[in-house]
Amino acid sequence: MTSNSGEQTTTIVIFGASGDLTRRKLIPSLCSLFCKGRLGPVVQIVGMARRDMTSEQYRESLAEGMGDFEDFSPEMEEWTEFASRIHYFRGDVASASALQGLEEFLKGIEAPGKPANRLYYLALAPSLYGPAVLNLGATGMAGATGAWRRVVIEKPFGSDLASAQALNKSIHSVFSEDQVFRIDHYLGKETVQNLLVLRFANTIFEPVWNRNYIDNVQITVSETVALSDRAGYYDQAGVFRDMFQNHLLQLLTVVAMEPPSNFQADLLRNEKVKVLNAVRRVTPETAPEIAVHAQYDGYLDEQGVPADSRTPTYAAVRMDVDNWRWQGVPFYLRSGKALDDKRTEIVIQFKRPPHLMFQQEIGPNILAIQVQPDEGLHIEFQAKTPDEKMQMRPVDLEFHYDDSFGGQAIPDAYERLLLDALNGDASLFIRSDEIEEAWEIMDPIIQGLARSEAPLPAGYAIGSRGPDEADRFLAKYGSAWLHRDWQH
């Protein structure tokens, strides 16, 4: 399809066209953007993978994937219109000649005489990020006069600091940093962006957002599923690489950062880098002092997991942010598989009042931000029980997206991120220095807990809250995990 409107066309090239991410996230998000009229007038989508199929078969396979959405039908007019913009090109991204063929194919469908903008999305195994980028460079596809070229890179970005640096080096040999969009889809979640709004568009939170009022911060990403057939693959990574280096540290930076003077990508990211830079470093020798690790019962029996694996499926870590605002306030981060609850939550536990004139022990104020599910927040405070003497009990003020915005659906994080990448807004993407700082924090922890001198991973029952060691770990610092079954 070519443009006859004279407007600049944009092509989204998805490498890894037939994969799970493309089917479950990218195509549904692009389709939703298209239906909302946000994709721009002339956008085409080209998927590339090695298997043999025609564009027609490709569209059919994507429509099957869309069948997971209740209100979808392949006969829908919007889908027919959207699908007519999707093409399939067969090829191996690791082969420069295949990319040369792709370039010819793209030129054939893009408006002649006017270069199209291009967003390259690497929905590929991480080992292919480097070869794909280098081949885009070798075939001259990374730049064009009069049009932009951008590349979106999925997680995981490296498996340690050295590999992340090497990958950044390869990428920068082809693309400049402002062309690169490294994804952490947590940043695309409305509740995470709302945290910025909560902090920086309200006057009531920021004055107490510091060491004078906050006792500790707890960030939890828990999942109920065990690993089963993915265990062999997961064993190469473990929870620190899978969750801490990216999602948990990203959430920490958004909680802890200073307000940028302006909501501009680089100013925002500068502040996030400063937080990572201030996170206290440990050595492999001292890492076990600030972290516990564990495996769910039966993990070592999963297929593909070595019997002596020390790869954690659960971990809890204390981090300290050594700056004026956060000195002495522990950030407790935890994440695990096969737990009792699927939730992502940020809990701010405030200090108790300095003096209690009431004859009753009370808990501290709590602000709990539910990133997922049931997106919203709760503020817990003390109230007098009616018709009794001075008795208090905690009560809950709550905000939920579905109540407050008339049941308006919350878009998938990928929808927001794809749109931002198309618009060239990198605010919610990770900059190269940010990713390297995050690895610099995590490397000694990962190495330290893998050492034979470190305690073996603890065990925990499937469907439990995690190991008892995680409770004892917090008790050591005079804290306790907050477990609230918030009623809504």
Ligand X SMILES: NC(=O)c1ccc[n+]([C@@H]2O[C@H](COP(=O)([O-])OP(=O)(O)OC[C@H]3O[C@@H](n4cnc5c(N)ncnc54)[C@H](OP(=O)(O)O)[C@@H]3O)[C@@H](O)[C@H]2O)c1
- Residues designated catalytic: 247
Instruction: Answer yes or no: are the C-beta atoms of 294 and 334 closer than 8 Å.
Output: no
Q: Are strands 314-320 and 291-296 parallel, antiparallel or unpaired?
A: antiparallel
Please tell me whether residue 301 adopts helix, strand or coil conformation: helix
Alpha carbon distance 290, 115 (integer Å) = 53
Q: Token pair of 105, please? A: 């194919």
Contact mark string toward ligand X, 145..174, x via CB under 6 A: ---------xxx------------------
Q: Which residue is nearest to ligand X (CB)?
A: 19
Nearer to ligand X, 160 or 258 (CB): 160
Least spacing, CB of residue 49 vs ligand X, in Å: 3
The 31-60 site mask, x for binding ligand X (CB under 6 A), equals -----------------xxxx---------
Name the minimum Å distance from CB 61 to ligand X: 10
Residue number, 242 or 345, with CB nearest to ligand X: 242
Q: Pick from 13, 17, 46, 119: which binds ligand X (CB under 6 A)?
A: 17
Site for ligand X in 126-145 (CB under 6 A): 126, 128
For residue 92, state whether it binds ligand X (rule: CB under 6 A): yes
125 near ligand X, judged by CB under 6 A: yes
The residue type of 322 is D
DSSP state of 388: S
Instruction: Indicate the residue among 22 and 370 with the shorter CB distance to ligand X.
Output: 22
Looking at the Cβ atoms of 34 and 121, the one nearer to ligand X is 121
Query: 391-410 burial, b for 16+ CB within 10 Å, e for fewer?
Result: ebeeeeebeebeeeeeeeee
Joined tokens for residue 420: 């931002």
Count CA within 13 A, CB hemisphere, residue 95.
Answer: 10
Closest contact distance (angstroms) between CB of 252 and ligand X is: 20
Q: Which is nearer to ligand X, 20 or 68 (CB)?
A: 20
CB of 262 vs ligand X, minimal distance in Å: 30
Q: Tell me the closest approach of the beta carbon of residue 23 to ligand X, in angstroms.
A: 8
Of these, 46, 86, 119, 124, which contacts ligand X (CB under 6 A)? 124
342 sits near ligand X (criterion: CB under 6 A) = no
Work out how close the CB of 188 gets to ligand X at its nearest, in angstroms, rounded to a whole number: 11
Q: Which stretch binds ligand X (CB under 6 A): 92-100, 270-278, 300-308, 465-473?
A: 92-100
Q: Which is nearer to ligand X, 24 or 172 (CB)?
A: 24
Residue 265 sits in the site that holds ligand X (CB under 6 A): no
d(CA 81, CA 437) in angstroms, rounded, equals 44
Binding segment for ligand X (CB under 6 A), chosen from 89-97, 225-233, 313-321, 437-445, is 89-97
Supply the minimum distance, in Å, between the C-beta of residue 250 and ligand X: 14
Nearest by Cα to 343 from 482, 228, 450, 460: 482
Closest C-alpha to 340, from 195, 466, 166? 466
* Burial environment of residue 415 by CB neighbours within 10 A (0 to 12, 13 to 18, 19 or more): buried
Pick from 40, 65, 74, 94: which binds ligand X (CB under 6 A)? 94
96 binds ligand X (CB under 6 A): no
Beta strands in 8-116 (DSSP E): 10-15, 43-49, 86-90
Q: Does 20 bind ligand X (CB under 6 A)?
A: yes
Q: Is 454 in the site for ligand X (CB under 6 A)?
A: no
- The reply to whether omega before 330 is within 30° of 0 (cis) is no
Interacting stretch for ligand X, rule CB under 6 A, among 19-27, 256-264, 289-297, 352-360?
19-27
> Binding mask 204-243 vs ligand X (x if CB under 6 A, - otherwise)?
----------------------------------------
Count of residues touching ligand X (by CB under 6 A): 24
Q: What is the DSSP string of 326-365?
A: TTT-EEEEEEESSBS--EEEEEEEEPPPS---SSS--PPP
Candidates 158, 157, 159, 122; CA nearest to 142 is 122
Q: How far is the CB of 353 from ligand X (least distance, A)?
A: 43
Other C-beta atoms closer than 10 Å to the C-beta of 5 total 9
Nearest to 259 by CA among 250, 246, 249, 272: 272
C-alpha to C-alpha distance for 133 and 153, rounded to whole angstroms: 10
Footprint of ligand X (CB under 6 A): 15-22, 24, 48-51, 92-94, 123-126, 128, 154-156
